[in-house]
Structure 1
Amino acid sequence: MDGFEKRRKQKKKDILTAALTLFMEYGIQKVSITEIAKKANVSQVTIYNYFESKDNLAQYVFKFYVDQVWGEQKQFLESALPFNEKIKKIIFEKGTATNQISERFFQDFMKDYASGQSYVEEVYEKEALPLFIKFFNEGREQGYIDSEVSDEAILFYLKMFQEYLQREDIAQMALPVAEELTKLFFYGIAGKRED
């Protein structure tokens, strides 16, 4: 990669980072291209050259956000930690990508998710699903998941949860209890809580 391409890639990342920061704080509708350009130290024209429109930029920001969240989750899932420690990290350690999410951004994100063509679906199908199956098997081997609970049952439960969250009217209710829902899911399949 030559110097020009490196600068171009970095500039694009700066725009995505600036947009994500502003979107997370204020929601997509309340943030202008002018504000994003100022925060990213680029011109508005540069943003339009890279992303064509604010709607396209928002789609790239959603992908950027999903990649950050999944990257953090994947790191925990692939680590050498015991199953119960992985669960604790997944539930209790809020990553940098999820620390400052506003209700408005969460609603925007869930609206995109509910569209049925979300990048989240793609990541889930291609990357998360195989890793979760491996994670569940690891939990069984270490005695944390009941061996009578099949992958099919766990995945069916996840699918029900996923489809329910795709309903647009659910976004406002889900954010305040997201951590509790995660605890309920993990400790529900574990059958016991290790402290």
Structure 2
Amino acid sequence: MNGFERRKQNKIDQIYSAAFQLFSKHGFQKVSVNEIAQNAKVSPATIYNYFGTKEQLYADMLMNWMDKQLEQYERILDSGSSFPEKTKDIMLLESKNLHTLTDELQNAPFSELSGLLQRIESEYEQKIRHFFTKFVALGKQEGYIQGDLTEEMMMMYFTMYKNELGRHWEASDRERVTLSMEQWVDMFFFGLVGQKQK
């Protein structure tokens, strides 16, 4: 990446950061391109040159945020932690992200953004499926996931847990939820019976 490209990328990152903060706090409708430009320390013309419209900026910003979360999941999966520890960290992070994403999207004008959001959802689904394939393969390799379970079944099971954890996270004391993660993970892997004695 040459100097010009690096400066351009830095400006885009500043715009994403400012946009995310403002959209999260005030909602899509109440934030103007001028406010984003002011917070990002760029001109409004720069934003229009890079993104064309506020709607496109919103969609690109959201995709950028999701990509960064996926990078965190990849780092966790590639870490030296045990597979249950990785699962716990990924599940907890995904629950937090689900909460952030739900709040973020509540204020979005779906009629104006529906096409862009569908594209984002489709692209992200492909990326998360690739990650999940890697996750399941590692779990099977380390003996935590049954070898004959299909990827679809595992994805459904993981999503079930993640959604319930997200609901629990939103409705109660987050510190208590974090402390009970060991039990969540034990239940995830071993169910009500508990770990089988060898």
Q: TM-score normalised to the size of structure 2?
A: 0.68
Alignment check: 8 A CA contact 2:140 2:146 kept: yes
Determine the C-alpha separation between the residues in 2 that align with 1:94 and 1:107.
18
Gaps of 5+ in 2: none
1:18-167 → structure 2 map (5 Å cutoff): 18-93=18-93, 98=97, 101=100, 104-108=103-107, 117-125=118-126, 127-147=127-147, 149-155=149-155, 157=156
Distance 1:9 1:115, change over 3 A: closer
For the structure 1 residues 23 and 66, does the alpha-carbon distance in structure 2 shift closer, same or farther, using more than 3 Å as the test?
Answer: same
Q: Based on CA coordinates, which of the two structures has the bigger radius of gyration?
A: 2
Q: Within 2, Cα distance between the matches of 1:158 and 1:91?
A: 12
Contact 2:34–2:44 under 8 Å retained in 1: yes
Distance in 1, Cα, partners of 2:118 & 2:7: 31
Match of 2:5 in 1: 5
> Is the CA contact (8 Å cut-off) linking 1:20 and 1:61 kept in structure 2?
yes
Could you list the runs of 5+ residues in structure 1 that have no partner in the other structure?
166-172
Give the counterpart letter for 1:119 in structure 2. Answer: I
Which of 162, 176, 191 pairs up with 2:170?
A: 176
Q: Percent identical across equivalent pairs?
A: 28
Question: Cα RMSD over matched residues?
Answer: 4.0
Secondary structure of 2:55's match?
helix
Give deviations 1:133-153, integer Å, cap 9, x for gaps.
Answer: 232232234333344533242
How many residues in Structure 1 have an aligned counterpart in Structure 2? 178
2:189 corresponds to which residue?
A: 190
Shift of 1:15: 0.8
Counterpart in the other structure of 1:16: 16
Aligned mates of 2:100, 2:64 — CA distance in 1: 14
Q: TM-score, normalised by structure 1?
A: 0.69
